[in-house]
Every structure is written in structure tokens, then in C-alpha cells.
Amino acid sequence: MSLVSSLVYRRRSRLFGRLVQEALALYGMEVPAAAEIGPGLTVFHRGFGTVLHPYTTLGANVTLYNGVTIGRADPWVPQEASAMRRVVLEDGVVVCAGAKIVCKDGVLTVGAGTVVGANAVLTRSTGPGEIWAGVPARRVGVRAGIAVGRGSA
């Protein structure tokens, strides 16, 4: 496990939480304590420039590259007036460098095993095992050999 991944898991510590948040900030990462992070998170390139919204859920074995943003599509609207409820990345999702996953209404779900390409801007939910790229992101393929459902082999 990388140093950055270790820090992400320790950000909720009662004793060292604030210190860990500051250490992550030195790497240019913002991971609020409210964000839910599953086991096996991999962060490449020390996650420089990565920002997660507090209402983010990452499943198991999610991979994040540098410059990833996960959050609201309407930051100018006060939080209490926003219709965004949560962004969920299911198990095995890969978010490549510079990608933005932004939600405006309800819950945006990135399906298990999905890849979001470099510099893509994803604004809607995806199915499992899909490949999304572009601005705005669109489905450009399906990953071969990826189980389609949660818990399937």
C-alpha cells in the first residue's frame, strides 16, 4: 500500500485526523473524512490534484490517478439547495488522469469495473465494465473479461 493510500485510510483518526488531512494537502489531495472509501484503494502518482466530494463512496479496489475530481456539477448552487445526493464508484473502477466525475441530480453511479478515460468529463451513470471517454464522456467500449454483475465470476 502506498503512503498516500495509507494516509487516506487514516484521515478519520481521532488523534491524527487533522494532521493526516494536512499531509494529504501537501500532496494536493482533498479527501474529506465524510467520503466513504472501500478496501484496496490504489492511488497512482501520489494523487496530485485529486479532489473528492464529501458525498463520495468508493467501492473495493478502486484505482485513482492524479488530477481526478469527483463532485458536484453545480458548485455555484448552495449545498443545501443542490439536488446532488451522492457519487458512487462501484468495485474495480479505474479513473484515469485528469478525469472529472460530476453529478447534478440524485445519485451518479459508476458501474463495477468501469474505466473513465484520461481527461473525460463524466456526467451520468454507467453500466458495469464499460469504457467512457471524451468531453462530455460517452461510452466507447466494453472491457473484455470483466464480470458484469457484483459478485459474479
**Closest-CA residue to 132 (of 88, 105, 96, 106):** 96
Task: Kindly write down the DSSP assignment for every residue of 91-113, as one continuous string.
Answer: TT-EE-TT-EEEESEEEEEE-TT
Model confidence at 67, in pLDDT bands (50, 70, 90)? very high
Tell me the domain boundaries of the chain.
34-130
- Under CATH, domain 34-130 is a member of which superfamily? Hexapeptide repeat proteins (2.160.10.10)
With beta carbons less than 8 A apart as the criterion, state whether 4 and 47 touch: yes
- Would the pLDDT of 27 be above 70? yes
Q: What is the mean pLDDT of residues 18-28?
A: 86
Q: How many residues would you count in the chain?
A: 153
